[in-house]
């Protein structure tokens, strides 16, 4: 028994080593894999066989090993079978995406829903339908869902959403509300990972998710900084003005009260308007004074909160995402000017301010990407449990 367990754990380790190497250097022959990894050719062949059967790699023509080597069959990472489901509940929309093992986005759905008007039970029933639809369509394309992650707009502690103030949620345990296993994480954390894996940002940045709430995710040296309890990055509740308007979080003068989507629309005279953000963008493009003023003031507040964040966290670059992405042309100057005025004298360089190309999709993509990264880090668990399909049925 112990012997078998030890044998399995070595096989699991070797399978991970071989898959990681195919991912890094593929297309690559078995002989080259043996040379790079230091494993025997027999072991490599066995591992490649397992990965082929699991649909994680595929054979793609022949390849010569070096100048004098004999041609061998090339092995490459396959996007044809293993995939992941990324889900997001946000205040005014739900979204889902399916990403395959090569991190190619295969499906993407978004649905506008005002989740403030619904109970968690209703919201999750909508989400279930969206997830089942995505999984059914992925199956038609021959994909098998290896797992799923859900992004929610609030701090998450061990599967429990203690408070998502903008949704009116308190102590919501996600596992109780879905009929398939899902990991849950904070929207801003997953959006930062989405930016890291699918965006253009380098390995050191603070990604700001502008939604009705505002969150941030700090990536340092290619890894997400989570803090002691996984609750770091709540930029939306950084204090901009201590006696400012009351916030749903229980505080006062939080950034969200100045630069959150609702606050912005209210300041632009678009409170409660359907299609608020597209209408705001129309007005900005038309040079509407209230709209321009609203962005100016939101940008200044964002600049104040980011000044505090730069002093505390020292990010490499700042990437504005979510609704701040389409609004970037109007936010850029007030944010930059505020930060420069407050930071330039003390620091060599004020962090560069850039815009996310993923916008509102970052969190859903990060959610799916997280599952793929886990599969790649530990393919054995997936190969071994492939028959007990963890996806929605």
Query: Residues in the site for a copy of itself, rule: CB under 8 A?
Result: 155, 157, 162-163, 165, 204, 216, 220, 225-235, 237-242, 249-252, 304-305, 307-309, 311-316, 341-348
Q: What gap in Å lies between CA 92 and CA 260, rounded to an integer?
A: 13
In angstroms, give the least distance from the CB of 240 to a copy of itself. 6
Residue 18 or 295 with smaller CB distance to a copy of itself: 295
Tokens 């963008």, residue? 281
Q: What gap in Å lies between CA 101 and CA 116, rounded to an integer?
A: 35
Residue 114 or 314 with smaller CB distance to a copy of itself: 314
Residue 20 or 163 with smaller CB distance to a copy of itself: 163
Query: How many Cβ atoms sit within 10 Å of the Cβ of residue 348?
Result: 5
**Would you list the DSSP string of 48-101?**
HHHHHHTTSEEEEEEEE-TTTPPEEEEEEE--SSEEEEEEEE-SSEEEEEEEET
Tokens 């991970």, residue? 16
Residue 33 or 235 with smaller CB distance to a copy of itself: 235
In angstroms, give the least distance from the CB of 341 to a copy of itself. 7
In angstroms, give the least distance from the CB of 154 to a copy of itself. 8
In angstroms, give the least distance from the CB of 230 to a copy of itself. 7
Q: At what angle do helices 41-53 and 2-25 cross, to 10 degrees?
A: 80
Angle at 217 between CA 341 and CA 317, to 5 degrees: 45
In angstroms, give the least distance from the CB of 308 to a copy of itself. 4
Residue 127 or 255 with smaller CB distance to a copy of itself: 255
**Residue 148: what are its φ and ψ, rounded to 5°?**
-145, 150
In angstroms, give the least distance from the CB of 247 to a copy of itself. 9
Residue 127 or 232 with smaller CB distance to a copy of itself: 232
Percent of the chain that is helix, strand, coil (3-state, to 5): 45, 25, 30
- With the CA atoms of 379, 380, 385 and 391 taken in that order, what torsion angle do they form, in degrees rounded to the nearest 10? -10
């Amino acid at each position: 028994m112990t012997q078998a367990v030890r044998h399995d754990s070595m096989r699991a380790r070797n399978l991970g080593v071989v898959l990681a190497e195919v991912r890094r250097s593929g297309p690559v022959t078995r002989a080259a894999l043996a040379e790079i990894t230091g494993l025997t050719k027999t072991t490599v062949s066995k591992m490649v066989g397992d990965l082929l059967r699991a649909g994680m790699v595929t054979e793609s023509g022949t390849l010569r090993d070096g100048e004098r080597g004999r041609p061998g069959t090339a092995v490459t990472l396959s996007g044809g079978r293993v995939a992941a489901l990324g889900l997001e509940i946000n205040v005014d929309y739900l979204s889902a995406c399916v990403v395959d093992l090569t991190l190619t986005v295969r499906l993407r759905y978004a649905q506008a829903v005002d989740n403030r008007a619904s109970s968690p039970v209703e919201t999750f029933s909508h989400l279930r339908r969206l997830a089942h639809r995505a999984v059914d369509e992925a199956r038609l394309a021959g994909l098998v869902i290896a797992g799923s992650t859900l992004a929610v707009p609030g701090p998450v502690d061990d599967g429990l959403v203690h408070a998502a103030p903008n949704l009116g949620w308190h102590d919501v345990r996600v596992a109780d509300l879905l009929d398939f296993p899902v990991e849950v994480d904070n929207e801003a954390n997953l959006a930062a990972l989405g930016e890291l894996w699918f965006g253009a940002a380098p390995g050191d940045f603070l990604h700001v998710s502008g939604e009705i709430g505002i969150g941030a995710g700090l990536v340092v040296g290619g890894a997400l900084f989570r803090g002691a309890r996984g609750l770091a990055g709540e930029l939306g509740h950084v204090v901009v003005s201590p006696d400012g308007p009351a916030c749903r979080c229980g505080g006062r003068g939080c950034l969200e009260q100045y630069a959150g989507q609702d606050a912005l629309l209210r300041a632009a005279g678009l409170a409660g308007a359907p299609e608020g953000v597209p209408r705001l963008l129309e007005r900005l493009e038309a040079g509407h004074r209230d709209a321009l003023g609203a962005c100016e003031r939101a940008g200044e507040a964002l600049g104040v909160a980011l000044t505090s964040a730069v002093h505390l966290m020292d990010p490499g670059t700042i990437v504005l995402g979510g609704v701040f992405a389409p609004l970037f042309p109007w936010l850029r100057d007030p944010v930059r000017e505020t930060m420069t005025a407050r930071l330039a004298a003390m620091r060599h360089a004020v962090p560069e301010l850039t815009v996310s190309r993923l916008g509102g999709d970052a969190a859903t993509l990060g959610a799916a990407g997280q599952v793929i990264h886990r599969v790649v880090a530990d393919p054995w668990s997936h190969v071994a449990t492939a028959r007990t399909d963890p996806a929605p049925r």
